[in-house]
Chains A and B, each alone.
Chain A
């Protein structure tokens, strides 16, 4: 008990040093919490971007297509038969479904060409899965069966693509495609709407056209690449995917159902999050070095005192205890300070957010987020980082404390 009292009194012995070390820990904890909140928010937001503007909650597709999806092949497609669509519509928490046909194309404005992803959709079904209503910066979504003058098909494109091609609503665009038989074909389009979403892929690369136009130009009959499904709750998607996959086996054994968390973009975002956590752990290890430094400094200047304590009959473990307790006290102080700062910082991040648009374009890093990123509260992080800060302080002091406490008492009493 007296050793505990002594350790606590020693905390106030060099107030500045204690405060500086505690501040380093507090900064590490604070920085960790901010990054964690931001990365959590970014990840959550990127998931939402992928779900809301690109992929929905579930995707019904053949396994072979799923494997080669990046190439946007026109083989291994599916036919959205009534039986299949009925099974899809019966899943728990169903909100909507939309069949889509994806293909590679070159978009030409008559002068320049850019590689794009063509997406044939049925606008009514599409609206049940992906809601673009609030994201049109020009025009709007085409209607089912709509054709423009001279039979030209309507199209919706992303804002960034429109800027790159220097086109706007009412302008014409030609998509150069290769159909199922590798024969070149072209689709004449009139832009009826320009969208700007939070998803960079949609803004930069996608051209939405009527599904029947795409199917005809690509000679795939009534086949589609996949069927997207939107549910009430994204957390139920993995379970529903399994259940639906089981039902679809009876209709077509080649069919598979993947939930949003199995998308490559989502796994990449998860992996990036792991990488970021590693960086955050390194930040906390730097705090450990600060503790080690403080304990060594403290031991060096208290060498005669340690010698006296040993002369009084204290054992090595008792001297270690005082140093370790002192460092743990610094860890607790720094942890509390860091958590308080973290509460304020994360609070600001969740309300005000951080606008990345003026700082860095996240799209090249594979993070499908544009604009302001909002932090998320993660109480578990607060608890774990506080505990980690205290534990790091405790463990990082053991070795230097042992080094000091195990000194020969004579050498400690008479250091010179």
Chain B
């Protein structure tokens, strides 16, 4: 069953007198529960594609259907609501809130969803922190955590609300290979256990190893789309 359907997706950046095409008519379908990696050289349009899928940006042309809903007609507020309830983000620089503990950073995401009571929030946050291997570190602030631990918090934050889709932009870029592998194992585990759809954008061969679907983007177009068992 398709979670995402993209048809003729085009994004052109207007930089004064020059128009820079980032995506040139992409057609893609992503099924629910897929563990997909988008790769390609710098400037190929990976991040732009991720931003459009994540409702952070709007296409210049083409359509995106997210879980049966066409995104084109939605306003800023509606897009924010889709992000809040159905999309989790993991960025390379973690973007944790430094004044909040690991627990509170994760709690923040689930509080926004506003559908659980206090006890359930606590149970869910503790469960996800344990699942990403951060049990016992929940009261630490980001500056008291290693890079890998921070990224685990970011993953927990993205997953705690049980979104339909997690978008990870270069999640291993700031991590060493051992930590990268640990973080990827966590995400693969979450994908298996929760059935959450993951889409990565990366250059990292290690991330590609974990992916069950590899999509290569070149010059704003899909150059290769390969599924693996």
Contacts and interface: CB of A to CB of B under 8 A. Distances in A.
Interface stretch (B93-101, B124-132, B183-191, B206-214): B93-101
Nearest to B77: A315
A12 interface: yes
Contact of A313 (B80, B91, B98, B107): B80
B203 interface: no
Contacts of A383: none
B98 A310 contact: no
B108 A312 contact: yes
Q: Of residues A10, A305, A314, A413, which shows the largest number of chain B Cβ atoms within 10 Å of its Cβ?
A: A413
A311 B108 contact: no
Contacts of B109: 312
Given A2-B111, A410-B56, A410-B57, A311 B89 contact: yes
B83 A2 contact: no
A48 to B, nearest CB: 55
Interface residues of B, number: 28
Nearest to A315: B80
B32 interface: no
B84 A312 contact: yes
A13 B99 contact: yes
Interface string A196-237: 000000000000000000000000000000000000000000
Given A312-B83, A312-B109, A312-B112, A9 B99 contact: yes
A6 B91 contact: no
Contacts of A310: 56, 80, 83
A72 interface: no
Contacts of B100: 6, 9
Contact of B112 (A9, A313, A316, A409): A313
Contacts of A409: 56
Contacts of B179: none
A313 B97 contact: no
Contacts of A63: none
A6 B97 CA distance: 9
Contacts of B87: 313
Interface string B65-100: 000000000001100111111010101010101111
A341 to B, nearest CB: 28
B148 interface: no
Interface in A308-326: 308-316
Contacts of B51: 410
A310 B81 CA distance: 10
Nearest to B82: A313
B54 interface: yes
Given A9-B100, A413-B91, A2 B108 contact: yes
Nearest to A13: B99
A54 interface: no
A382 B113 CA distance: 42
A329 to B, nearest CB: 13
Contacts of A308: 89, 91, 95, 97
B99 A10 contact: yes
A304 interface: yes
A307 interface: yes
Contacts of B47: 414
A174 to B, nearest CB: 83
Interface string B137-175: 000000000000000000001000000000000000000
Interface string A393-415: 00000000000000001100110
Interface string A1-36: 110001001101100000000000000000000000
27 contacts: A2-B107, A2-B108, A2-B111, A2-B112, A6-B108, A304-B95, A305-B97, A307-B95, A308-B91, A309-B97, A311-B83, A311-B89, A312-B83, A312-B112, A312-B157, A313-B83, A313-B85, A313-B87, A313-B112, A314-B84, A314-B112, A315-B76, A315-B77, A315-B80, A413-B56, A413-B91, A414-B47
Interface of A: 1-2, 6, 9-10, 12-13, 304-305, 307-316, 409-410, 413-414
The 5 closest A-B pairs by CB, nearest first: A313-B84, A308-B95, A9-B99, A313-B83, A2-B111
Given A304-B95, A312-B108, A313-B82, 4 more contacts: A2-B108, A10-B99, A308-B95, A314-B84
